[in-house]
Chains A and B, each alone.
Chain A
Amino acid sequence: MAEKRRENPLFDAITDPDGVLSSLFFPAMSVFLGLASAGVLMPFLGHSPAAVYRDLFSFAFRDIYNIADIFAKASPLILTGLAFAFAFRAGLFNIGAQGQFYLGAVASAACALSFPYLPSWVLLPLCAAASMAAGGLWGGMTGFFKARFNANEFLVSMMSTYVAVAIMDFLVRSPLREAKGEYPQTDVLAEAAWIPSFLPGTRFHWGFFLALAAAGAAWVLLWKTTLGFRMRAVGKNRAAARFAGIREKSVFVSVFLVSGAFAGLAGFLEVNGVQHMVVQGFNPLLGAEGIGIAVLGSAHPLGVVLSALLFGALKVGGLLVTQTSSVPSSIIAILEGFVMLYVILSFYLRHRLRRSRSRRRTAAGGEAP
């Protein structure tokens, strides 16, 4: 088995499964390949991928407004990404972020519409709290079902989104409907409920930093607290966690409460920061995109933030491209889907590299782990 291998330090560094370089290289490659694959489809509609991508990136960074928009778009994505990633760390699947987002949005709007006379510094935190409570409780319901009935949380959270949509539709069509009664949407919220803008003249609002803070909180929760420790133990080895006396049922509920709260907070950001009202069926893909972002970011808060910014840029540029040319908006979903698939393939690749590296080391007479 004596193979002559030229030592290539760059190759080794990139393929070192525990190395920093590989955590950047593989996601970057996945994004690149995703772009390329989506690009392959563009000629079907008579567009040149090179031209489309050139436009996309130049649009995204064309001026301050667009760059600021990236941050605006990324803010809720960070949160729905965190929602999935956080639950994933405990071995749980929260597919219901879209529903938790909607209910958080509605709760925040209801709050703002009920107390329009309150000053900003009271109303905003109130709305934020309402959105987190609504999202958290809705998510917590799934966690409770799993703890109490050993229900399949994937199915329950998936179905709960459809129920949440129905609830939102109902609320927006009757009790919370705008005074005019023309469209299924609420009135515009009072200015006191508007999240102040970070860059005047753009849509970049302070909510972005709230999302960053949430990511930081997630990181602290996961690696610095006992709840996070218990979550990670349950996620990696339920039998050992149970044996260690960790009560997994309470972990299930706690995880979904927090995860749902993240998604609900996204509702606050979108409603109070950007739309300033609730329109039926707005942002329908936020939950699914959050899953893609979490996967791309390896379920790590920092990865989620970076991926959300990337997706934000793709959306800003992409939307402009679809508005100024006849490239359909479905290309964005295609792009996201491809990126996710490549990330999954990259997991496989890293796994093989890890194995062959380990095998080479052993055959050369290393200590047997």
Chain B
Amino acid sequence: MILEGLLARAVQMSTPLLLGSLGEVMVERTGVMNMAIEGIFLLGAWAGFTGAYITGSLAAGFLCAMAAGVAVGALYGWITVCLKQHQIVTGVAINILAAGIGIFFYRVLFGVPLLPLTVEPLRPLAVPFLSDIPVIGPALFRQNILTYLAWGAMPLGWWVLFRTRTGLVLRSTGANPEAVDAAGISVERVRFGAVLAAGALSGLAGAFYSIGYLGLFSNDMIGGRGWIAFALCFLGNWNPLGALLGAVVFGIADAAAITLQTSGIRMVPNEFLIALPYMLTIAATLARKRFNVPASLGTAYIKEEK
């Protein structure tokens, strides 16, 4: 029973990590790091909640979340890809700004309610037959629609990246932007497009926390998970399937922590459990010996000394 619950929760909690890391893989394959990922997660959570609360439709909420992600991505992309400014500093600026903007507009729209406003979050959608398989059935096939989408998106992302012409262009842009330029493709356009896509996915991921899981919005609900998704891209070796594996591991760690906390077992201090995902990320970062880093990752492509 506990195992089932643990697995189910692990799969569920891995959803935003999957979406976020898929977007990150796509964009880092073109040589750009999405340093604003945490901020986009947060604004996605806010936009998703706001959209869902006002229209009464969760689907609208998710669309708003993606739109917010694209908008922030556009700002980040403009500064780092077009203006060629520093990716880390820009990301930090946007993350700080996003933290303020989310809560500011929450106040503008909803004031200061006595009790936090809520919406009904996503309900699980059981797949007939498959969800009756013992143990893994409920874990894998009694999840909400966003989770199914996220899990389906990973192999799809792998296929796009490694088997289509678009994927070839993406990978080439990160490996050798000069080659792409000489072939007549605009490096900036490819990168900017990838940043927008990553923004949309990360916004969606953030909305999972607000309208896919908890049903409310609070400013510290992301708690660094955007950064874990970011790290998963590294750890998955810039491959969607690798990120999938990593997300599962972290999902399990996250779920285990929550299960232990709520079960009242006092083997380890609570705080240790909370810190577990972050320590795991550090450990994994250290253990990864040989990376297949996209060669131009982090550097702006300066075409001519304009």
Contact = CB atoms under 8 A, between A and B. Distances in A.
Contact of B274 (A166, A292, A355): A166
Interface string A334-350: 11111011001101100
A93 B88 contact: yes
Contacts, number: 136
A295 B96 CA distance: 13
Given A155-B230, A169-B271, A344-B86, A337 B285 contact: no
A240 interface: no
Interface residues of A, number: 45
B271 A152 contact: no
Given A155-B231, A292-B93, A337 B100 contact: yes
A163 interface: yes
B129 interface: no
Contacts of B306: 355
A332 interface: yes
Contact of A159 (B99, B105, B278): B278
A239 interface: no
Contact of B96 (A145, A155, A336): A336
A297 to B, nearest CB: 13
Interface in A134-169: 145, 149, 151-152, 154-156, 158-160, 162-163, 165-167, 169
Nearest to B35: A154
A333 B100 contact: yes
Contacts of B103: 328, 330
B104 A331 contact: yes
B114 to A, nearest CB: 16
A79 B292 CA distance: 37
A160 B100 contact: no
Contacts of A149: 285-286
Contacts of A345: 79, 83, 85
Interface in B80-105: 83-86, 88-90, 92-101, 103-105
Interface string A189-220: 00000000000000000000000000000000
Instruction: Determine chain B's interface SS by DSSP, over half rule.
Output: helix
Nearest to B98: A337
Contact of A152 (B234, B278, B305): B234
B107 interface: yes
Contacts of A170: 269, 271-272
Contact of A328 (B94, B97, B107): B107
Given A44-B108, A344-B90, A334 B286 contact: no
B282 A344 contact: no
A341 B275 contact: no
A123 interface: no
Contacts of B93: 292, 295, 337, 340-341, 344
22 contacts: A156-B286, A158-B224, A158-B227, A160-B282, A162-B224, A163-B275, A169-B271, A170-B271, A173-B271, A288-B95, A291-B89, A292-B92, A292-B93, A292-B96, A331-B104, A334-B100, A337-B97, A340-B93, A344-B86, A345-B83, A348-B83, A355-B305
Interface of B: 79, 83-86, 88-90, 92-101, 103-105, 107-108, 223-224, 227, 230-231, 234, 269, 271-272, 274-275, 278-279, 281-282, 285-286, 305-306
Given A162-B224, A337-B93, A337-B101, 10 more contacts: A41-B104, A45-B108, A145-B282, A151-B286, A158-B224, A158-B227, A174-B269, A288-B95, A328-B104, A336-B96
